[in-house]
């Protein structure tokens, strides 16, 4: 492992579930220890209820806000807030309707980038698009291959 710098406008950009994901650090760069991505989620976005069987998932909110739901608890998070979603616990989040959520997502150990690449597509522009059609079967298959269980639909927003 070697030191490196990823600039603000650098990193592989992928459209993932209607959100822009830009990788900042991946398993190949961190010895498998962690993945860091910057997410830009549109207003009102919510991923399906799910749980990671292997990775802890952490969020550091840069701008915007969201309600994080984990194992029956709700955490309203805004700029500067940090949220830990431990492996094995069901969770999701709902982005506030007023503005996009920009956050760093950290997963440890690494591997989340492989899941996102399996169901996402390369981003040519770094602005939020119209939400794409999601193939639930393909998403479920990729999730299972990457030790993620989909437990239910996104919360109603």
**pLDDT computed for residue 97 by the predictor:** 95
Helix residue ranges per DSSP H, the chain: 27-30, 112-119, 136-145
Q: Angle, nearest 10°, between helix axes 136-145 and 112-119?
A: 160
Q: Extract the tokens encoding 58.
A: 């952490």
Phi, psi of 138 (to 5 degrees): -65, -40
What is the tens place of the pLDDT at every residue in 41-61? 999 999 999 899 999 999 999
For residues 132 and 16, give the distance between their C-alpha atoms in angstroms, rounded to a whole number: 9
In the chain, where the domains are located: 25-125+137-147
CA 80 to chain centre: 17
For residues 31 and 109, give the distance between their C-alpha atoms in angstroms, rounded to a whole number: 9
**pLDDT computed for residue 138 by the predictor:** 66
Q: CA dihedral defined by 104, 150, 17, 93, rounded to 10 degrees? A: -50
- Cα dist from 151 to 32, 91, 136, whole Å: 26, 9, 12
**pLDDT computed for residue 96 by the predictor:** 97
Beta sheet of 56-63, edge-to-edge order: 82-85, 56-63, 101-108, 35-41, 19-25, 13-16, 121-122
Weakly modelled stretches of the chain, pLDDT under 50: none
For residues 130 and 148, give the distance between their C-alpha atoms in angstroms, rounded to a whole number: 26
Q: How many CA atoms lie within 13 A of 7 on its CB side?
A: 2
**pLDDT computed for residue 29 by the predictor:** 94
Domain 25-125+137-147 in CATH: superfamily?
Jelly Rolls (2.60.120.10)
What is the tens place of the pLDDT at every residue in 97-121? 999 999 999 999 999 898 888 888 8
**pLDDT computed for residue 133 by the predictor:** 60
């Amino acid at each position: 492992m070697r030191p490196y710098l990823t600039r603000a406008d650098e990193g592989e950009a992928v459209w993932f579930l209607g959100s822009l994901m830009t990788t900042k650090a991946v398993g190949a760069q961190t010895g498998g220890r962690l993945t860091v991505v910057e997410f830009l989620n549109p207003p009102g976005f919510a991923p399906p209820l799910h749980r990671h069987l292997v990775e802890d998932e952490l969020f550091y909110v840069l701008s915007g806000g969201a309600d994080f739901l984990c194992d029956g608890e709700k955490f309203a998070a805004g700029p500067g807030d940090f949220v830990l979603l431990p492996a094995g616990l069901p969770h999701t989040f709902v982005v506030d309707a007023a503005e996009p959520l920009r956050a760093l997502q950290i997963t440890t150990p690494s591997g989340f980038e492989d899941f996102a690449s399996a169901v996402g597509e390369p981003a040519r522009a770094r602005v939020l698009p119209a939400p794409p059609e999601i193939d639930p079967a393909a998403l479920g298959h990729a999730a299972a291959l990457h030790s993620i269980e989909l437990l239910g639909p996104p919360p109603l927003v």
